[in-house]
Chains A and B, each alone.
Chain A
Amino acid sequence: MTTTDMPRPVDADPGRAVSKKPPRSAGGGGLRRAVPATTLLWILACLYGLPVLWFILSSLKPASDLFSYPLTLVPRNPTLSGFRAAWDSANFSQYFINTTIVCVITTILTVGVSCCTGYALAKYDNRWLKAFFLCILATTMLPGEVMLAPSFLVVRDLGLYNSFAGIILPAVLTATGCFMFRQFFLTVPDELVEAARIDGARELSIFLRIMVPISRPIMLTLAILSFQWRWNDYIWPLLMLNDPNKFTVQIGIQSIVGAQNINWSVLLGASVISMIPLIAVFLVFQRYVMNADINAGLKD
């Protein structure tokens, strides 16, 4: 696909080729090649973008227009009434706050704990750590869905049923997070640690004062991933929560879908509202996700 009609800078290190892209517009026969590639790209992009566009535009239609033929892409009289109805109905604002609380706390804990574990796995060496590394690897083979019933019983026996802690705590340990930090700290030279030791720094203060600050980009990447996982979680909160005042957004949306007669106006409004936070976070921190060297440890 990537044909070359211009000499490209040959890079000794293939991994580096990424950053030194030649200028986009290849002159000469460029246009001849640009047309099919660009057309195909945008046909596919439209196929991917249209469902979301149609969904968002539909949510702006008043309830009475939703099913009126002929269907129009652009709403004739756009209104925010669907959103308002969704926000007011069935505690949706409460669900939104609940989900935010759960996501923020889980994300902070996940980043902190993964950072510690990843550092220990990368910079220390003893058989306990090796064994624990294998244990974390094992969690990637057993997704939570496999152990729904026993996990439920464990959390219930711990007295965490119907509490936010019951959703937060089981979600804190993620193999992806630990592996991302381990991968990163492996690239940090050991000499940095050695030098600090010679200067008399204690082990934990090396970690806190040198290693934590330099791992900030990984923290952001993991924070975004973790926020996305937890915001979109459905089945575990559904099992854990019994009190409608503690429901999360996803449960709220599903309860609208599960009704006998679906109120599409409210459903569309609620769904679009639930999409906003993630898309906003993503657009702001795009490069931390897009450039992340995400690899096979990924679980959720």
Chain B
Amino acid sequence: MTKRASDVSASPPRRRSKYTLAPLVLIAANVVLFSLFFVWPAVIGLVYSFTNYTGVGAFQFIGLDNYDNLLGDSTFYHALTRTLMYTVLFVPLNFALSLLAANLVVNKHAKGSSVARVIFFIPWLLSPIVVGVLWRWLFGENFGLVNYVIEKLGGGEVPWQSNADLSLLVVVMAASWMWTGFTMLLFIAAIKNVPVSYYEAASLDGAGPWRQFISITLPSIAPTSFIVILLNTINAMKEYPVFVALNNGGPGSSNNLLVQYIYETGFKRGQIGYASAASFVLMLILMAVAIIQLIVNRRVENR
């Protein structure tokens, strides 16, 4: 993206650079929306994070108190570590499953891959709320299909809902299941762009399918892999609806993630200032992720 932008500016001056009114008319609507729903909230959010605003009435500037309290808030730390744990589990699982699905779908020996592709994609069409409901139905402790099968096979009832770690694991599986189809599309596009001649050369040299995957496919799709990892990290950091529908951040509040924490402090307890400070911490994390994404993108495109 950045490369193309610089291409445009490097090209010799053309007549079109004298047109200013028409493009401004064309972007006008988005400029208005951008300033109303992006710049304005960002600015007042930053301001409120230094106040004790509750959403109504007057407020006072309290300096860095909100951030200070946040650092000592064990609930916030718990939400933050839980979010990071979720991200660390979700991103690799989704990556592996999507890459496997993409490879199987593009494999010309596999039959029925166009139907399978649709099957992989359908979970992405479901809303996070429905995905949560669906997995709650599957993993219900005394009525779910999974425990029923486990008991039929001679196992005991697994506490999918009442054990905090297991219920986090269920959400990780549910989210990976839901996001596979989309990530798979990105991988399919990347894999199809790998020149066929590489594989031919490798197979002449006697490389088997696994060897070809490790030495050709993986390095060739590296740019896409980076993008997938970073997009999924951002998605995971802001996950909320799947948790709400699956176990409502439970058992208890043990799986309340950052966005849920922000929502509950800001809207249920009315501490808008404090919630804004928490938002800005989340924003800093996401910014760090996004900056890495930009740097990687630029390096890859300039290669």
Which residues of chain A have a CB within 8 Å of any CB of chain B? 1-5, 7-11, 14-15, 17-18, 21-22, 24, 26, 30, 33-34, 37-38, 40-42, 44-45, 48-49, 51-52, 54-55, 58, 66-67, 69-71, 113-114, 116-117, 119-121, 123-126, 128-130, 132-133, 135-143, 145-155, 158, 169-170, 172-173, 178-179, 186, 190, 193-194, 197, 203-204, 207, 228, 231-232, 234-235, 239, 250, 253-254, 257-258, 264, 267-268, 271, 274-275, 278-279, 282-283, 286, 289-290, 292-298
Q: List 21 A-B contacts (CB under 8 A).
A: A10-B200, A17-B196, A41-B110, A51-B134, A116-B26, A124-B22, A129-B27, A136-B34, A142-B38, A143-B234, A145-B240, A149-B275, A152-B267, A169-B37, A186-B4, A254-B244, A271-B133, A294-B186, A295-B227, A296-B1, A296-B227
Query: How far does the Cβ of A119 sit from chain B's closest Cβ, in whole Å?
Result: 6
Could you tell me the dominant secondary structure of chain A's interface residues? Answer: helix
Contact of A153 with B120 in the complex, beta carbons under 8 Å? no
Contact of A10 with B241 in the complex, beta carbons under 8 Å? no
Question: Taking the complex as formed, is B219 at the interface, i.e. its CB lies under 8 A from any CB of chain A?
Answer: no
CA A17 – CA B106 in complex, angstroms?
12
Question: Taking the complex as formed, is B162 at the interface, i.e. its CB lies under 8 A from any CB of chain A?
Answer: no
Query: How far does the Cβ of B155 sit from chain A's closest Cβ, in whole Å?
Result: 16
Contact partners of B196 in chain A: CB under 8 A: 2, 4, 8-11, 14, 17
Asked if A124 meets B19 with Cβ closer than 8 Å, knowing A26-B109, A67-B143, A149-B272, the reply is yes
Question: Taking the complex as formed, is B60 at the interface, i.e. its CB lies under 8 A from any CB of chain A?
Answer: no
Q: Contact check: which of A116, A137, A286 meets B27 at CB < 8 Å?
A: A116
Contact partners of B37 in chain A: CB under 8 A: 151, 154-155, 169-170, 173
Query: How far does the Cβ of B137 sit from chain A's closest Cβ, in whole Å?
Result: 6
Asked if A264 meets B137 with Cβ closer than 8 Å, knowing A125-B17, A279-B122, A297-B1, the reply is yes
- Which among B41-49, B70-78, B85-93 touches the partner chain? B41-49
The residue on B at minimum CB distance from A294 is: B185
Contact of A147 with B209 in the complex, beta carbons under 8 Å? no
Asked if A1 meets B194 with Cβ closer than 8 Å, knowing A146-B286, A148-B279, the reply is no
Contact of A290 with B185 in the complex, beta carbons under 8 Å? yes
Scan residues 108-162 of chain B and give those whose CB is less than 8 A from a CB of chain A.
108-113, 115-123, 125-130, 132-138, 143, 145, 148
Question: Taking the complex as formed, is B287 at the interface, i.e. its CB lies under 8 A from any CB of chain A?
Answer: yes
Contact of A148 with B241 in the complex, beta carbons under 8 Å? no
Known: A41-B113, A116-B26, A286-B118. 17 other contacts (CB 8 A): A1-B106, A1-B212, A10-B197, A24-B108, A30-B109, A37-B109, A44-B120, A116-B27, A124-B23, A142-B283, A146-B282, A147-B41, A147-B42, A149-B262, A203-B21, A235-B263, A279-B125
Contact partners of A14 in chain B: CB under 8 A: 193-196
CA A32 – CA B244 in complex, angstroms?
47
The residue on A at minimum CB distance from B230 is: A296
Contact of B283 with A146 in the complex, beta carbons under 8 Å? yes
Contact of B245 with A123 in the complex, beta carbons under 8 Å? no
Contact partners of A146 in chain B: CB under 8 A: 238, 279, 282-283, 286
Contact of B33 with A113 in the complex, beta carbons under 8 Å? yes
Question: Taking the complex as formed, is B180 at the interface, i.e. its CB lies under 8 A from any CB of chain A?
Answer: yes
Query: How far does the Cβ of A236 sit from chain B's closest Cβ, in whole Å?
Result: 11
Asked if A239 meets B267 with Cβ closer than 8 Å, knowing A41-B113, A257-B132, A296-B231, the reply is yes
Query: How far does the Cβ of B38 sit from chain A's closest Cβ, in whole Å?
Result: 6
Asked if A1 meets B209 with Cβ closer than 8 Å, knowing A44-B100, A116-B27, the reply is yes
Contact partners of A71 in chain B: CB under 8 A: 145, 148
Contact of B31 with A132 in the complex, beta carbons under 8 Å? yes
Contact of B200 with A8 in the complex, beta carbons under 8 Å? yes
Contact partners of B259 in chain A: CB under 8 A: 145, 148, 235
Contact of A34 with B137 in the complex, beta carbons under 8 Å? no
Question: Taking the complex as formed, is B295 at the interface, i.e. its CB lies under 8 A from any CB of chain A?
Answer: no
Asked if A116 meets B29 with Cβ closer than 8 Å, knowing A10-B196, A71-B145, the reply is yes
Asked if A38 meets B42 with Cβ closer than 8 Å, knowing A71-B145, A124-B19, the reply is no
CA A209 – CA B279 in complex, angstroms?
44
Asked if A113 meets B133 with Cβ closer than 8 Å, knowing A124-B22, A203-B22, the reply is no
